[in-house]
A and B are shown apart, each in its own frame.
Chain A
Amino acid sequence: MLRFTARRLLHAVPLLFGVVTLMFFLLQLAPGDPIQALIGDYPATPEYIAQVTEAYGLDQPLLVRYWEYLQQIFTLNLGESLAGRVPVADLIADRLGNTLILTVTAMTFAAIVGVAVGVWAGVSRSRTLDHLVTGVAVGSLSIPMFWLGQMLVLIFAIKLSVLPSQGMYSTRSTAEGLDRLPDLLTHLLLPALVLAMREIGVVARIVRTSVHDVLTLPYVETARAKGFSRATIIRRHVVRNSLLPAVTVIGYNFGFILAGSVLVETVFGWPGMGQLLYESIRNRDNAVTIGIVLLIAVAVVVVNLLTDLVYGLVDPRIRAGAGAGGRA
């Protein structure tokens, strides 16, 4: 298991190197000028612009800057933000927790609801219910997040005034520590729901198909020959085995959730990494942009690894394969 983990992490190194390189050069191709963005719509003399350019090392040739950036990254230094010269690592650290609260909540929510709906549709002998659930699942997949987010804000925050529309905490709240939890939860509900929506659809569809397949397997008939009721059979023999593909999907889709958090955090003013990424792209703050994308890449690699390890927990056959060093 340890060797398996180490090998997987080693495989990630060239991947991350590729991400950094790609991001570095792609951002150079993007329109706009970081210095212009920094100075703003302010009439500046060419001398001043040249001075600022030199101060940030932007007068150096591209390859030289790339080489320097790589050296920096290698020492785990993500560089400094263009605006305010704050270390990128500090900027991200401030926001990472907030993003994790949002994404992990959304993922948990998606897993629970998706599996429940999927099993329900899968075991249902009613064709209509099955079609209905599939339809809703496809629908939830197809709705753009930013649109759904704004619609929910319109309904629950503006029309009904039952939920806050922006931020993580009420500005008027004076609560400290754990007392802030109820306030946090009301702010969390809508963005987490929007973020989870797509994944609920994905998970529900996968689980539904999987349940359908497992129900026809011979060992389910063995369970029937044991004299078990349909409910017992589903609970003991069908659900767990149907979860295998769902585990994969949920784990591998963590990247999508992180990507989705950029939109959702922007719509809901959630002070997380996604919002920071959005701002850094607008401000042409390349060090911050690359830093966040790199971190997301690392997160995806780690979560995928965790997924493979969890898979082994759910399916003893995989465990045996990995233990023998056979399958990766």
Chain B
Amino acid sequence: MSTGLAVRDFSVALKTPAGVIRPVDEVSIEVRPSQRVALVGESGCGKSMTLRGILRFIPPSVLDGVSGEASYDGVDLAQLDDRRLRDYRGRRIAMVFQDALARLNPTMTVGAQVEEVLATRDRRARETQVTALFRSVGLDNSRAFRRRYPHELSGGMRQRVLIAIALAGDPELLVADEPTTALDVTVQAQILDTITDVVRERGMALLVVTHDLGVVSETCEFVYVMYAGQIVESGLVDAVFDDPGHPYTQGLLACVLDVDEPVEQRVRTIPGVVPPPGSVTTGCRFRSRCPAAHDRCAADPPVVRLDGDRTARCWLPSDTAGEAS
């Protein structure tokens, strides 16, 4: 029985001209089989780097090293050699990226790019499978369409092709990195529907990385909120969105447009930007932007267990609840 993805105290260190930085700092995430999980946060908070670190997509020229554990079904991915890692990529863990135009080979037909992932050698079977895959992601599955090139398709169609590629290896876990960013709002909703549909139908697990809380609420059950390389809050989506425990989550939720409010109150932002990795070494990393910051925030805040699966890395809820181990 599969136990899914388990990431514990996982850190990524990168080499930069200014020295070694840690954009991912002791992150713990769990994605159980058939569970749909989101990793949410602003740009530059380390979400994508967490994914890339776990799945080993960071080029050795910039990677200083990883620490902690990132395992799938109990096998530590960091310890695998290239050959064994390839058995996981595509077949067990598949990825959907943003910017589908750059993610597709411009000189290869979209049909061929899906087909090359298939395991079977039989040409008839391959054709049948590709046709079925195109249909399942809502694409025209005619021969003529499959022979088109990426630049001949719309952004939404290209994103669907990427999803078909990910599904072609029949994976257990689908990892989607900002799958709807840079698409039209109407197309975004359709792509999200497609992703949730295929994930449900196939009983796959899903890990979505996004800055869009709308995406989280539409697709996922469980959410991790990330800030400046750390997980600051986690819990079931409904619970977290109803009653956010961390001031950062509260801020993010307050930024969501509410069309019922008068225009001048609709757009809210959290003032300031995410501090660059390495600039805050002790204390709460959000305190410079936090409306509730006080003296204690200069010391590292505890990870507080609020109720059930919910945790928050903050001094405020710790006053009312017990500390997590």
Contact = CB atoms under 8 A, between A and B. Distances in A.
The 10 closest A-B pairs by CB, nearest first: A227-B90, A227-B89, A218-B102, A225-B95, A226-B90, A316-B149, A227-B86, A219-B105, A222-B103, A218-B103
Nearest to A221: B57
Interface of B: 55, 57, 82-83, 86-91, 94-95, 97, 99, 102-108, 116-117, 149, 151-152, 162, 165-166, 169
Given A227-B90, A315-B107, A219 B169 contact: no
A214 B94 CA distance: 22
Contacts of A236: 108, 116
Contacts of B57: 221, 224-225
Most A CB atoms within 10 A — which of B86, B94, B105, B116?
Answer: B105
Nearest to A243: B107
Contacts, number: 72
B87 A241 contact: no
B97 A314 contact: no
A217 B151 contact: no
A315 B90 contact: no
A314 B107 contact: yes
Contacts of A229: 82-83, 86
Interface string A294-324: 0000000000000000000011110010000
Interface string A216-240: 0111011111111110000011001
Given A218-B99, A219-B105, A317-B106, A225 B151 contact: no
5 contacts: A228-B86, A241-B105, A241-B106, A316-B106, A316-B149
A224 B165 CA distance: 12
B107 A316 contact: yes
Contacts of B55: 225
A96 B126 CA distance: 51
A225 B90 contact: yes
A110 to B, nearest CB: 23
Given A221-B57, A241-B106, A241-B107, A317 B149 contact: yes
A315 B86 CA distance: 29
Given A218-B102, A219-B102, A316-B107, A226 B151 contact: no
A39 to B, nearest CB: 62
Contacts of B107: 240-241, 314-316
Given A236-B116, A316-B149, A317-B151, A227 B105 contact: no
Nearest to B168: A226
Contacts of B90: 225-228
Given A226-B90, A228-B90, 12 more contacts: A219-B102, A219-B104, A219-B105, A221-B57, A225-B55, A225-B95, A227-B91, A227-B169, A229-B82, A230-B82, A241-B105, A316-B106
A217 B102 contact: yes
Contacts of A237: 105, 108
Nearest to A225: B95
A278 to B, nearest CB: 43
Contact of B97 (A218, A240, A317, A320): A218
B165 A227 contact: no
A317 B149 CA distance: 8
B151 A320 contact: yes
A236 to B, nearest CB: 7
Contacts of A217: 102
B242 to A, nearest CB: 35
Given A219-B105, A226-B169, A316 B151 contact: yes
B151 A222 contact: no
Contacts of B87: 227
Interface in A231-276: 236-237, 240-241
B102 A225 contact: no
A217 to B, nearest CB: 7
A316 B89 CA distance: 29
Contacts of A223: 105
Given A316-B106, A316-B149, A222 B97 contact: yes
